[in-house]
Amino acid sequence: MKQSFILALIVIAAISLNSCASGRISAVRDVKPQSSVKMTLTNGSVKEGVLFKGEKEQLFFVNAATHKTDTVMYDDIKNMTYLNRNLDFNGYEMPEAEISSHKGLKKTLLYGGGGLILGAAAGAGTAIALFAPKKDGDTGNSNAAIATIAALGTAGAVVFGWMGSKVDFEDAVFKTRKARYMVEKKEMDKRKKELERLKKRKK
């Protein structure tokens, strides 16, 4: 029972460490488009924005300071980290509350359920190996076996549920960006029609 509990704690601790260490980006050319990042350049300057696309030698992004498309040479990037906030397609910050309004639980529940099953299966295998009767007349330790299955099942649900929650959040970030873009597009279309109407009136 003690062994399974410690194992579960190790798994959960690993998640926390991974979450804390995930800010720094080791391979800047492999960063996904639409990531909100902070770039420290070799000349000491700092740029923040949302990535658009990368080409052979340079990276295109929307600069959070100017809200316009900007470029930076890969060789000029000293280091890159993920921002602790998310930016829209124009480089403006999106509040957590706004993102949360678009967040579902589909992936969290799906991943969590899968993790529970996998964790319980791993726990069953571990329990059989550790607590099954070793010889005739030995009843084994059923309580410890049950605790092991429960602990690893819970750990599996937590690990995979956390992974699913990250996917749900990323989906929500995209939906929030898209919703903002659609509102802006609608407003631009409205202004365009108004300008066309005014031009016709002048004729």
pLDDT at residue 71 above 70? yes
pLDDT at residue 15 above 60? no
Per-residue pLDDT tens for 109-168? 665 566 656 555 554 555 444 444 555 555 445 555 556 556 656 666 666 666 777 777
Per-residue pLDDT tens for 20-38? 444 667 688 888 888 999 9
CATH architecture of 31-93: Roll (2.30)
| Token couple for 174 | 């995209």
Q: Rounded to a whole number, what is the largest CA-CA distance in the chain?
A: 103
Neighbouring-strand partners of residue 36:
50
How do the domains of the chain map onto residue ranges? 2-21+96-202, 31-93
| Token couple for 167 | 């996917």
Beta carbons within 8 Å of 97's beta carbon, 6+ residues apart: none
* pTM of the complete model beyond 0.85: no
Q: Is there a contact between 176 and 99 (Cβ–Cβ < 8 Å)?
A: yes
In sequence order, what DSSP letters do the residues of 117-168 get, joined into one string? HHHHHHHHHHHHHHHS--STT----HHHHHHHHHHHHHHHHHHHHHHHHHHH
**What integer is the mean pLDDT of 74-103?**
90
Q: How far is CA 113 from CA 8, 110, 144, 154, 181, in A?
A: 17, 5, 23, 10, 34
